């Protein structure tokens, strides 16, 4: 079981803590999450440069892949591309484990379906000009990993796997994977 799926002893009884202590704890968690990204800033900057170059040079799509809460956050990020940056709606695609229905009622079993992630890349005709961003809190969500691996095999620019798990921030591997262009 990944760290993101385990119940932390640190938060036992949080439902009966005083409100100021809950607020302080939530704030500390966010500060820790932000600090964990520091070691990956250069990789993130390289990825941003490669992604923008790819998308501006070719007519590919920006494809977000995810499951559960991480997938919903990816979708929220992608939804801002048009109003904030004028990115064409027809060049943005969201692949969510469980399909459109999972956006309003997510089910944990869909994220374990790697075959579905692979098949979705094929059925959506993700081509070499497309950029695929897989988002997974644990970094090992079967749907997301299978989809990004399938996209990478089809010569897409992909982040392969970007982990948000604090215990292993070095796993943010962007464009360092063999076979990825960018």
Please report the DSSP string for 103-144 in residue order: GTS--GGGGG-HHHHHHHHHHTT--TT-EEEEEESSS--HHH
CA distance 96 to 78: 12
**Relative orientation angle of helices 142-153 and 114-123, to the nearest 10 degrees:** 40
User: Is 3 an active-site residue?
Assistant: no
Please tell me which residue in 111, 119, 149, 168 is annotated as part of the active site. 111
Please report the DSSP string for 12-60 in residue order: TTGGGS-HHHHHHHHHHHHHHHHHHTGGGHHHHHHHHHHHHHHHHHS--
CA distance 140 to 182: 23
Structure tokens at 135: 């988002």
| CA dihedral over 118, 123, 129, 131, signed as positive or negative | negative
Please tell me which residue in 5, 21, 28, 80 is annotated as part of the active site. 80
User: Is 165 an active-site residue?
Assistant: no
Residues belonging to the active site: 80, 111
């Amino acid at each position: 079981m990944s760290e993101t799926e385990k119940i932390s002893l640190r938060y036992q009884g949080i439902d009966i803590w005083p409100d100021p202590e809950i607020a302080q704890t939530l704030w500390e968690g966010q500060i820790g999450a932000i600090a964990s990204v520091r070691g990956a800033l250069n990789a993130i900057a390289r990825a941003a440069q490669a992604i923008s170059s790819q998308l501006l040079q070719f007519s590919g799509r920006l494809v977000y892949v995810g499951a559960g809460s991480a997938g919903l956050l990816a979708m929220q990020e992608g939804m801002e591309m048009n109003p904030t940056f004028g990115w064409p709606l027809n060049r943005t695609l969201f692949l969510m484990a469980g399909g459109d229905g999972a956006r309003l009622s997510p089910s944990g079993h869909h994220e374990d379906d790697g075959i579905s992630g692979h098949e979705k890349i094929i059925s959506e005709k993700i081509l070499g000009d497309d950029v695929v961003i897989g988002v997974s809190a644990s970094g090992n969500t079967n749907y997301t990993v299978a989809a990004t691996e399938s996209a990478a095999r089809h010569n897409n620019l992909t982040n392969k796997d970007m982990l948000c798990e604090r215990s292993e921030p070095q796993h943010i591997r962007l464009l360092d994977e063999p076979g990825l262009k960018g």
